[in-house]
């Protein structure tokens, strides 16, 4: 037990490296919020475009969705950071991680929004026509509000799953929680900084998990 405390809960090391790991926490939080905003926003846009555009655009969106739903997140991050410079586009570790995870989340969000739109009862279209609404009015005033409510619980779970991939940013030297903890662990020759990282991950993601469970249990979201 003493060995466990010495290696993973060393008070001196925890106090010494807390500021650097906390700095990584703020980076992780900013990345997570950026990924959620970009991923859900772009996913909703893609789902709407599938409703308004023709077969060619629809096919391109499906290809985008299938590719980014299939590729591992780490592969996308590494390709964006190390591959795009050969095409003349160089991104910082922060931008590469946000762009990569945002693209992955947008692919899942687009599919979730699209499925929610498709499950809207046909009678909604008929009722909108009876009221004199065109396709655009029906989509934005009647169908989308219902589809978004249906999609929220699924989006919350998927967003949590993908934003946890911020830890993969260490592969491109992003100074997030895990990267900072690993650097501190190497310097201190003690894994106690990993305990700090675990505690901060719990502080960040437990509220999100609790919120997603609350959304799943709210019946009005699916009415």
pLDDT more than 70, % of the chain: 96
Q: What stretch of H or E contains 50?
A: helix 11-52
Check pLDDT > 70 for residue 7.
yes
For domain 2-222, give the CATH superfamily: MetI-like (1.10.3720.10)
DSSP state of 132: T
**CA 198 distance to own-chain centroid:** 19
Location of structure tokens 């391109």: 60
Question: Whole-model pTM above 0.85?
Answer: yes
**CA 164 distance to own-chain centroid:** 8
- CA atoms of 182 and 191, how far apart (whole Å): 8
Location of structure tokens 């590729």: 71
Q: Hey, where are the domains in the chain?
A: 2-222
pLDDT at 221: 47
Residue 185 in contact with residue 194, Cβ under 8 Å?
Answer: yes
Q: What is the pLDDT of residues 179-207, one digit of tens each?
A: 899 899 989 888 889 999 999 999 988 88
Q: What is the pLDDT of residues 123-171, one digit of tens each?
A: 777 777 777 777 777 777 778 888 888 888 888 888 888 988 898 998 9
Ranges 99-103, 104-108, 206-210: which has the least confidence: 206-210
Residue ranges of alpha helices (H) inside 79-143 are 93-118, 122-130, 135-137
pLDDT band, residue 222 (cuts 50/70/90):
very low
């Amino acid at each position: 037990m003493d060995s466990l405390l010495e290696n993973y809960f060393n008070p001196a090391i925890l106090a010494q490296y807390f500021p650097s790991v906390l700095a990584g926490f703020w980076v992780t939080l900013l990345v997570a919020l950026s990924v959620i905003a970009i991923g859900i926003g772009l996913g909703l846009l893609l789902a709407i475009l599938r409703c308004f555009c023709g077969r060619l655009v629809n096919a391109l969106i499906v290809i985008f969705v299938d590719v980014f739903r299939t590729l591992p997140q780490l592969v996308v991050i590494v390709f964006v950071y190390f591959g795009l410079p050969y095409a003349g586009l160089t991104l910082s570790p922060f931008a590469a991680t946000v762009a990569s995870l945002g693209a992955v989340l947008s692919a899942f969000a687009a599919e979730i929004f699209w499925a929610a739109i498709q499950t809207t009862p046909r009678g909604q279209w008929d009722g909108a026509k009876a009221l004199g609404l065109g396709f655009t009015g029906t989509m934005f005033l009647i169908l989308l509000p219902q589809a978004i409510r249906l999609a929220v619980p699924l989006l919350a779970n998927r967003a949590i799953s993908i934003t946890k991939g911020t830890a993969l940013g260490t592969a491109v030297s992003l100074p997030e929680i895990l990267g900072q903890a690993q650097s501190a662990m190497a310097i201190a020759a003690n894994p106690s900084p990993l305990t700090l990282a675990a505690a901060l991950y719990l502080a960040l993601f437990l509220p999100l998990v609790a919120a997603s469970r609350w959304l799943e249990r709210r019946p009005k979201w699916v009415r």
